[in-house]
Structure formats: structure tokens, C-alpha cells
Chains A and B, each alone.
Chain A
Amino acid sequence: DAGVIQSPRHEVTEMGQEVTLRCKPISGHNSLFWYRQTMMRGLELLIYFNNNVPIDDSGMPEDRFSAKMPNASFSTLKIQPSEPRDSAVYFCASSQRLSEKLFFGSGTQLSVL
């Protein structure tokens, strides 16, 4: 298996622009997580899906952030409008049903200028 695939690897954008991050989980995994990593706050859980349904989005910082999972093999995290404080590495992770073992993608390095 190719593992969790994220795109793009790097994204540089200007403040106010819309940013869309993409994730393909491992085939057969039922749960998908979006994390954000910064030096100050470490790894923070943003949102968690189970069987394509959002279960907990309490970590989403603001209404500017939204996430979707239209099917079992694809998820997006959108930021609109983006701000410089959104600059971070965004990770997608997936796990098998009822398992805490997470498999992370390589992340998207987002820079908002």
C-alpha cells in the first residue's frame, strides 16, 4: 500500500486566498484525522471522520476552516480566507475501524504570506 497520500507537499499563498489541502487515506481504513503542527502548539487535532461522517470538529479553529470527506478514499481541508497565522504543517492520518493506531501522511507545509 502507498500509505496516506497528501497533496500538495508545499503551498505558498497570499493572505485572503482560498487554500485546499487533499488527502487519500489507506485503502480499507475507516477513520480519517486532520492534524495541524506548529512549533508553539505541537500536534493539534482539527477534525475526525468515521465512515466519511464528521464525528468531532471541535478542534477546527474558526469558521474559516472546513473539511469534507465525500467518499472513503478522499478528504479535503479548506481554509477560506487564509491568514498568516494559519501557516503550519497540516497532516492527514487514517486508521482502521475502532483502532487508535494512526498512519500519517507526509504533510502539507502551508505558508500564508
Chain B
Amino acid sequence: GENVEQHPSTLSVQEGDSAVIKCTYSDSASNYFPWYKQELGKGPQLIIDIRSNVGEKKDQRIAVTLNKTAKHFSLHITETQPEDSAVYFCAAPSGAGSYQLTFGKGTKLSVIP
């Protein structure tokens, strides 16, 4: 099955700075890589995802990059704001063609005003 490692486990940044969270995966056949944001008391919410046929995807202040050779992908948040403070999870399919996701352990991001 898939193994997803996520780093760092905690991250503190000043408001306006950038934040980067990295994940590695083990199954070279994986082709879908989502990022979820979880606010306190709520369920995870999909914020951005990328498929293996592209190397980068952007949505306003959020971007995801993918390096299939190295089997890692990263979440980039620019111009961070206090409302970006949350736990972020990466995920990858649990096997080739699988619609089940294996999640990383999460990164707690704190944006300091």
C-alpha cells in the first residue's frame, strides 16, 4: 500500500510570509495528489489537487508542485494570513487506480499577526 510522509509537523510563520509543506509518497503508480485544510472542530476540506500529468498548479495564493521522479509534492501558500492557520494534510491514492486516499500525518500551520 501507499506510504505518505509529511513534513514539518508544525510550522509558524509571520503574516505575509510564505509557507511550504512537503510530502513524499512511495507508490510510483500514484497519479493524484490532493491537499486538505482542517480547521478546529471541522472536517478536512479540499483546497487544491494535482494530477501527475502536470508539474504545478496554482489557485490564487495557493500552489502545489509535483516531482514524480523524486516522488514528492509540496504545498505553497504565499502572503499568509491569520485565517490560513489550520492543519494541512496531503494525501495520495492507496494503490494504482484506487479511489481510496492515504493521508499524511498533518502539518499545524500558525500564522502570527
Q: Is B104 a contact partner of A42 (Cβ separation < 8 A)?
A: yes
Asked if B113 is at the interface (CB within 8 A of a chain A CB), the reply is no
B46, B94, B99 pick with most chain A CB within 10 angstroms = B99
Task: Closest A residue to B89 by CB, please name it.
Answer: A43
Q: Is A106 a contact partner of B99 (Cβ separation < 8 A)?
A: no
Complex Cα spacing A37 to B56, Å: 29
Give the number of chain A interface residues (Cβ < 8 Å). Answer: 21
B 97-113 contacts with A by CB, 8 A: 99-106
Q: Is A100 a contact partner of B43 (Cβ separation < 8 A)?
A: no
CB-CB contacts of B32-73 with A at 8 A, as 1s and 0s? 101010000111111001000000000000000000000000
Chain B, interface size category, equals 20 to 34
Q: Is A107 a contact partner of B43 (Cβ separation < 8 A)?
A: yes
Task: Closest A residue to B98 by CB, please name it.
Answer: A100
Q: Is A4 a contact partner of B34 (Cβ separation < 8 A)?
A: no
Q: Known contacts being A91-B43, A93-B43, A106-B41, is A100 close to B99, with CB within 8 Å? A: yes
Q: Is A45 a contact partner of B101 (Cβ separation < 8 A)?
A: yes
Task: Closest A residue to B51 by CB, please name it.
Answer: A100
Task: Closest B residue to A59 by CB, please name it.
Answer: B100
> Which residues does chain A contribute within 8 Å of B46, judged by CB atoms?
101-103
Asked if A75 is at the interface (CB within 8 A of a chain B CB), the reply is no
Q: Is A101 a contact partner of B49 (Cβ separation < 8 A)?
A: yes
Task: Closest A residue to B33 by CB, please name it.
Answer: A100
Task: Closest A residue to B106 by CB, please name it.
Answer: A42
16 contacts between A and B (CB under 8 A): A42-B89, A42-B104, A43-B44, A43-B89, A43-B106, A45-B94, A45-B100, A45-B102, A100-B49, A101-B46, A102-B46, A102-B101, A104-B36, A106-B43, A107-B42, A107-B43
Task: Closest B residue to A35 by CB, please name it.
Answer: B103
Asked if A82 is at the interface (CB within 8 A of a chain B CB), the reply is no
Complex Cα spacing A102 to B103, Å: 12
Task: Closest A residue to B31 by CB, please name it.
Answer: A100
Q: Is A43 a contact partner of B103 (Cβ separation < 8 A)?
A: yes
Q: Is B43 a contact partner of A56 (Cβ separation < 8 A)?
A: no
